[in-house]
A = this chain, B = another copy of it.
Amino acid sequence: MSAPIPPDDQNRDLGFGSVVSRESKLRLLNRDGSFNVEREGLSFWASLSGYHYLLTISWARFVAMLTVVYFLLNALFAEAYLLCGPDALMGGLGHLDNPVLRAFFFSVQTFATIGYGSIVPATLAANLIVTVESLVGLLSFAWGAAILFARFSRPTAQILFSKTAVIAPYRGATAFEFRIANQRKNQIIELEAKVLFSRVEQDETGVNRRFYTLELERQKVVFFPLAWTVVHPIDQRSPLFGLTEKDFKTSEVEFLVLLSGIDETFSQTVHARSSYKANEVVWNAKFTDIFVRPADDEPLKIDIGRLHDFERL
């Protein structure tokens, strides 16, 4: 199996569809791991996908949304109480005279199930609305708590990728290398890397983008406490064999990286993606040492700030 992998078996369809990006010079995968693609023809609801949206927006935005919903719902119920007439709510100790404010704050006291009793429902209609509001309040709270928990428990890895990959000397030949580190305090184990190499090629059917899976020196590490240099040796079986820095640029190469590992905090599988385009690959360089020399009685130490550092040879 030392012959070059025939492109035909590797590139027909990798989920990008059978023919992709013939002319496009843009990257397929952005540095942050999102795909640089668009889908048309989704139904409105399918593209909305509310749950996915609520899980992925920022915390600030999420809390802002909850606050807005909370005020709107209370305003809605306040309006309902007002529609029941002036006798619907009766004020006791310390109530406000303004009927709108009274209705709004009564709604708050009901929605949040506080019920001071300084304002109370006094008609059948008001009591029925209280019944509905209490149910809506309980369900809304359960809904909010469920989304909140779902946000907390989402497995997300924060893997830091070196800003550039390098073509480095490796056992008498060269290798394509990039470096990663764990940005969080959690432990990631059984970390596995997949690297796809993509380039535009000219063949009998025209100019097509082809995909190749790169063989790695080591595809998996059992432990990932510090940093890991992922290495693809450029030997005769490599689709990079014989390519020059100029070829990289003219054939619009892109290295697509998919990492998956197990986050020990929850024993959950986590994923991280990134990609390197031709201009993010430095030729004839090697990564500089990331280790801080430990004294004899000190634990191993790395400086993550040096993850991106390399030296030209």
A221 & B300 in contact (Cβ 8 Å cutoff): no
- Between A and B, 16 residue pairs with Cβ closer than 8 Å are A13-B221, A13-B229, A17-B228, A21-B294, A35-B223, A39-B304, A40-B303, A46-B184, A90-B94, A92-B120, A110-B114, A112-B113, A117-B118, A138-B144, A149-B150, A267-B269
**Smallest Cβ distance from A1 to chain B, in angstroms?**
16
Which B residues are in CB contact (< 8 Å) with A304? 39-42
Specify which chain B residues have a CB less than 8 angstroms from the CB of A130 in the assembled complex.
105, 108-109, 114
Secondary structure at the A interface, as helix, strand, loop or mixed, is: mixed
A131–B105 contact, CB under 8 A? yes
CB distance from A50 to the nearest CB of B (A): 10
Chain A interface (Cβ < 8 Å from any Cβ of B): 12-21, 23-26, 28-29, 35-43, 46-47, 49, 51-53, 55-56, 63, 66-67, 70-71, 74, 89-90, 92-96, 101, 105, 108-118, 120-124, 127, 130-131, 134-135, 137-139, 141-150, 152-155, 158, 181-187, 189-191, 194, 196, 217-218, 221-229, 231, 256, 258, 260, 262, 264-271, 289-294, 296-307
Q: Are B266 and A17 in contact (CB under 8 A)?
A: no
Given contacts A23-B296, A40-B303, A149-B149, 16 further A-B contacts (CB under 8 A): A13-B221, A24-B298, A26-B297, A38-B299, A41-B303, A49-B184, A89-B94, A90-B93, A93-B120, A94-B120, A105-B131, A114-B114, A114-B134, A141-B145, A142-B145, A146-B152
Per the bound structure, the CA–CA distance linking A20 and B245 in Å amounts to 32
Q: Are B184 and A305 in contact (CB under 8 A)?
A: no
Q: A225-B16, A289-B19 are in contact. Are A101 and B124 (CB under 8 A)?
A: yes
CB atoms of A301 and B38 under 8 A apart: yes
CA gap between A194 and B306 in the complex, in Å: 31
Known: A113-B114, A147-B152, A218-B12. A270 touches B267 (CB 8 A): yes
* Chain B residues in 8 Å Cβ range of A155: 266-267
Interface pair A16/B135, CB less than 8 Å apart? no
Which residues of chain B come closer than 8 Å to A152, judged between CB atoms? 51, 146-147, 150
Contact partner, A17, options B40, B116, B290, Cβ 8 Å: B290
Whether A116 and B116, one on each chain, are in contact in the complex, defined by CB atoms closer than 8 angstroms, is: yes
Contact A185 B49 (CB under 8 A): yes
